[in-house]
Amino acid sequence: MTQTSESLRSPLHERHEVAGAKFAEFGGWLMPLEYAGGGVVAEHTAVRTAVGLFDVSHLGKIDITGDGAAAFVNRCLTNDLGRIEPGKAQYTMCCDDNGGVVDDMIAYLYADDRVFLVPNAANNAEIARRLAEAAPEGVTVTNAHTDYAVLAVQGPRSAEVLDALDLPSYHSYMSFDEGVLDDTTIVVCRTGYTGEHGYELVVPNASAVAVWDAIIAAGGPFGIRPAGLGARDTLRTEMGYPLHGNELSADITPVQARNGWAVGWKKDAFWGKDALAAEKAAGPARRLWGLEATGRGIPRAHMNVLSGDSVVGVTTSGTFSPTRKIGIALALIDTSSEVDEGAELTVDVRGRGLDVRVVKPPFVDPSVK
């Protein structure tokens, strides 16, 4: 994509230039898409077999503090913070009154008086605005989008890399802790967006370059390589993880996207609860499925899905799976079509029919636990 003068840059931008990165704009940020010396497939494979390092500093950061901060967030976002304890993180969503998804994000529960949110880049300001307008007296919502870098160390050898740096690597999935590297306090969370064992590190901007360099040096013996957002997308698609704007949006609800597991249905209140409860009770008009190509070709987003001559849905994401060596896609399928797992359908790929089979994601075996 074309760079604009308004594009924000990661504090690691010069490191990416030196590594021969190809850049693209994501949510108003100019970020590395892939690096010289391999590209998306090599970076994807490194994460599946060894370890990759992503700069995801474009992700949002919002700090909610003050007496009752956690209870306030719990009244707004879909998931139930009461299910977790301090030191744990949780996947959650912000919905509008109609049940559409304004954004999905990770919530870090520090204590009753602090929650740190990591939404998507393009939606950070809107999430901060909604929360600030709704916040009761004594609760402060701080937009910290450009205060921190976020680095993702992902892959089966990621724990070895963190061990080499004496950073926390022992905790369970969706747990976080603080570590110190070169006198810099870093928040390390056992999570990620790849389906592999991995960690996301929240680092003060001023220390981002030093931390990046230390991880690259420590990861050398374990086969680490920088990975761009192109590989991040193929990795998350293999896992069937939703991307806001594709599988979740103002027009695509958690019920349709099979994200109801991240909704605290028994909570007294959260934004969009009435609409989502009604949709859940009635059954959604469409539902997200996975599609595996059984013919030669690669489905992409926004392509019609057909059963015979009838259009029964549309793809939301599609790519070549470097792991499976086949085309894969996620698609919203009309429930009235009565399509089920194992059904044989066709994707209209620019006027050519591509045979696909309906499956439940993930397309690969996950290693996140």
Amino acid of residue 55: D
In the three-class reduction of DSSP (H, G, I as helix; E, B as strand; rest coil), residue 272 is classed as: coil
In the three-class reduction of DSSP (H, G, I as helix; E, B as strand; rest coil), residue 150 is classed as: strand
Answer for the pair 231, 52: CB distance below 8 angstroms, yes or no.
Answer: yes
Q: What percent of the chain has pLDDT over 70?
A: 98
Q: pTM for the whole thing? A: 0.96
Spell out the domain ranges in the chain.
8-58+147-238, 62-130, 244-359
Question: Average pLDDT for residues 184-190, to the nearest whole number?
Answer: 98
Answer for the pair 5, 29: CB distance below 8 angstroms, yes or no.
Answer: no
With a cut of 50, say whether residue 285 has pLDDT above it: yes
Report the CATH superfamily, name and number, of domain 244-359: Aminomethyltransferase beta-barrel domains (2.40.30.110)
Report the CATH superfamily, name and number, of domain 8-58+147-238: Probable tRNA modification gtpase trme; domain 1 (3.30.1360.120)
Distance CA 255, CA 204 (A): 36
Question: Average pLDDT for residues 194-207, to the nearest whole number?
Answer: 97
With a cut of 80, say whether residue 289 has pLDDT above it: yes
pLDDT, position 367: 80
Report the CATH superfamily, name and number, of domain 62-130: Aminomethyltransferase beta-barrel domains (3.30.70.1400)
Among 293, 316, 312, smallest CA distance to 303 is for: 316
pLDDT, position 1: 39
Question: Average pLDDT for residues 31-43, to the nearest whole number?
Answer: 96
